[in-house]
Structure 1
């Protein structure tokens, strides 16, 4: 039996990193400016910096988290993305990814992950465990976490290319 309503619990889980960052930031403020000067005030300054970093990263992750309950399950094991859905699925090595797009015309919206040696992987943004894709996408060179989070808010009529592998960009430029 839980004393917390399910929607409140879901909100806390979505913004958990930001809430921890805010708590550390407040503790750092108290230690820095609320206590007599000394060693604890210097620890407070360090807590201020760590709390601000965690708050910033937590807000980005919270914006990108869409919850679960959608079709299929996403797992990442040793830089290999796996999607196991009711109708399709597959495995993609993160090093083999050539582009990442978001298709807002699908219901629910889908990540389209194209890669070398196979058909594109279509992953619903609300698939169970899809929030781990945020970290995987953020590890790609040149793709910022803020761009991933802001693209999820976009409502459009065509797929949005979020990232292309740098050597692929050069090949496309040579063709035109």
Structure 2
């Protein structure tokens, strides 16, 4: 018998990185402000900044994560995105990506769409292992995490561009 409800345990687990970062930041601030000088005082400032960074990253990752009960499994290994599902799936190279979008579609739900030189890969956001996409996006220069987080909570059908290869930006025609 657990003392914590399963829903609460899932939420605590989801926000654990942010909570640990806040605790590290608090310890660093305590050392910086209340130790009375010396080397521990200066280490405290460094620890506080490190904790603030961990907290901010943890908050972004927690807002980015989603329940994982959907079809298929995602693996990112050696700069390669693999999605295995009962129907569909595929493998794309991260280096060969042209565009990453989140598409909100009424009947299909929300899904990641990776477009690259090897084809297109559609991944439901609730597939197992989609939390690793956050780490993969960190390697792409200019990835828009705020748009990704906003797309994950959207209800209206829309396509959100999270990242586009810099050389591809100039080839897309605009209507304005």
- Which TM-score applies when normalising by structure 2? 0.89
Listed one character per residue, the Cα deviations across residues 65-106 of structure 1 (whole Å, up to 9, x for unaligned) are: 012111111110001001111211011100111111111115
SS of the equivalent of 1:143 reads coil
> In structure 1, what is the equivalent of residue 54 of structure 2?
54
Alignment check: 8 A CA contact 2:148 2:160 kept: no
Show the counterpart of 1:64: 64
- Once the two structures are superposed, residues 87-132 of structure 1 have per-residue CA deviations (whole angstroms, 9 ceiling, x without a partner) of 11011100111111111115431001111133x2110111111011
Choose between structure 1 and 2: higher helix proportion.
1
Per the alignment, residue 115 of structure 1 pairs with 116
Structure 1 unmatched runs, 5+: none
Following superposition, the deviation at residue 61 of structure 1 comes to 0.7
CA distance in 1, matches of 2:42, 2:67: 38
5 Å matches for 1:66-81?
66-81=66-81
Distance 1:147 1:59 in 2: 15
Aligned to 2:153: 153
Residue correspondence of structure 1 range 78-157 to structure 2 within 5 A:
78-105=78-105, 106-118=107-119, 120-157=120-157
Return the offset for 1:2: 4.0
2:73 and 2:127 in contact (8 A); partners too: yes
RMSD after superposition: 2.0
- Cα distance in 2 between the residues matched to 1:102 and 1:56: 23
Q: Verify the 8 A CA contact 2:144 2:163 in the aligned structure 1.
A: no
Deviates more, 1:141-150 or 1:21-30: 141-150
